[in-house]
Amino acid sequence: MTDPLIRLTGIQKYYGDYHALRGIDLDIAEGEFFSLLGPSGCGKTTLLRTIAGFEGVDAGAVTIGGADMTRVPPNRRPTNMVFQSYAIFPHLSVAQNVAFGLRKRADLNAQARETLVADALDMVGLDGYGGRAAHALSGGQRQRVALARALVLRPKVLLLDEPLSALDKKMREQMQVELIRLQRQVGITFILVTHDQEEALVMSDRIAVMFEGEVAQIAEAEALYRRPVDRRVAEFIGVMNFLPAAVSGDRVEVAGLGALALNELQSTARTDGDTVAGFRPETATLLFDGQTAPDREAHGTVAEVVYYGDMTYYDVRLDDAAQPVRISMRNVFGRPVLDIGAPARLAWSPGAVTLFR
């Protein structure tokens, strides 16, 4: 097995009495697009800054490329960071902004600098923009300039601190695709900090979900979404319905769904302590006239309808369940949208259900 490019071992960080990072152990492979995901204040940006060297650690070690970087200053680490604010110099041109990090490279003449800057601008789709004033750029263009300025130094690791948060939804989605393309093109390790679950799922090879200074789960995007290790991760990643459940021997009774065998559930099922059953909105479907359930069927009443164009989201109050469940349905031409108060039949499968403590 290849050694990781980055290895964090037992990272502890305090700010006075506040315990910001609590024994973080983490390996990141060379060429990986890795995301640190979590709510505000969970420690993800602090962890990114410890990799960059902007924050010291109170215990533990940071290793990059097999070398101990724990006490090495940021300018001597093979990393570069793109900040949330971009930190573009408005009085400089685009090319001058990109070349800023090269100003102390005595081994480069003017022509070599121009070539590196042109290559970096071409990477981010800004070929021909070098002479433009930085203050006249759009938000998406400023973000690309910040990326080019980081990439021109050819770091082993590019650190991205919520770089898309200032963009509107459409531009953010476009830049997500651009960052994926760019990372594949340059082949270096990207580490992204984000609180946006969808952004992390779309862009990452693997994701570390953090809460209160600890890593709760590390997994590939699909595994994280389909097989969360606990309820806290399940609630944070997307939407999940929860129903009270009672376990007795090898059987479980789920409110609104009825009785089923434990061995029918997902392999991550937990049967100790207080238990709830969880399933994703897209793993169940509403049945319309003439349709039959391929597996199990439950009954209830439509409590809310939210139309999103390509999708309709239904809140359905199942018989014998106190709280409604969310069901997402892709809209199909000619199929009616159910009204609030209409009776609902729900097709579901035990294989999509997980038990959580």
Q: What is the mean pLDDT of residues 149-173?
A: 88
For residue 267, what pLDDT band results from cuts at 50, 70 and 90?
low
Asked whether residue 45 falls in the same domain as residue 177, the answer is: yes
90 part of a folded domain: yes
Asked whether residue 245 falls in the same domain as residue 227, the answer is: no
Asked whether residue 163 falls in the same domain as residue 31, the answer is: yes
**CA distances to 56, 72, 186, 215 from 15, in Å:** 11, 20, 36, 19
292 part of a folded domain: yes
Q: What is the pLDDT of residue 30?
A: 96
Total number of domains in the chain: 2
Query: Domain boundary at 214, 231, 248, which?
Result: 231
Are 9 and 63 in contact by the 8 Å Cβ rule? The answer is yes
Domain CATH number, residue 104: 3.40.50.300
pLDDT in tens, 16-29: 999 999 999 999 99
1 part of a folded domain: no
340 part of a folded domain: yes
Which range of 48-57, 154-163, 172-181, 182-191 scores highest in mean pLDDT? It is 48-57
Those residues with Cβ within 8 angstroms of residue 193's Cβ, 6 or more apart along the chain or in another chain: 35, 36, 44, 45, 48, 159, 160, 161, 162
Element (H, E) at 82: strand 79-82
Beta bridge pairs of residue 210: 215
Asked whether residue 23 falls in the same domain as residue 172, the answer is: yes
Asked whether residue 144 falls in the same domain as residue 268, the answer is: no
The pair phi, psi for residue 230, each rounded to 5°, is -155, 175
Asked whether residue 209 falls in the same domain as residue 122, the answer is: yes
Asked whether residue 54 falls in the same domain as residue 94, the answer is: yes
Q: What is the pLDDT of residue 254?
A: 93
Asked whether residue 201 falls in the same domain as residue 247, the answer is: no
Query: Domain boundary at 187, 202, 231, which?
Result: 231
> Is it the case that residue 179 has pLDDT exceeding 60?
yes
Query: Domain boundary at 206, 231, 256, which?
Result: 231
Q: What is the pLDDT of residue 152?
A: 87
Asked whether residue 181 falls in the same domain as residue 47, the answer is: yes
Q: What is the pLDDT of residue 143?
A: 85
160 part of a folded domain: yes
Domain CATH number, residue 313: 2.40.50.140
State which residues form the domain around 35: 6-231
Asked whether residue 132 falls in the same domain as residue 16, the answer is: yes
pLDDT in tens, 71-116: 999 999 999 998 877 788 888 899 999 998 787 777 878 888 889 9
287 part of a folded domain: yes
pLDDT in tens, 208-249: 999 999 999 999 999 999 999 999 999 999 899 999 998 888
276 part of a folded domain: yes
Q: What is the pTM of this model?
A: 0.89
97 part of a folded domain: yes
Structure-token match 């651009």, residue found: 178
Asked whether residue 70 falls in the same domain as residue 178, the answer is: yes
Q: What is the pLDDT of residue 158?
A: 94
Asked whether residue 56 falls in the same domain as residue 165, the answer is: yes
Instruction: Give the pair of three-digit tokens for residue 16.
Output: 């006075």
- Dist CA 72 CA 230 (whole Å): 37
Q: What is the pLDDT of residue 221?
A: 94
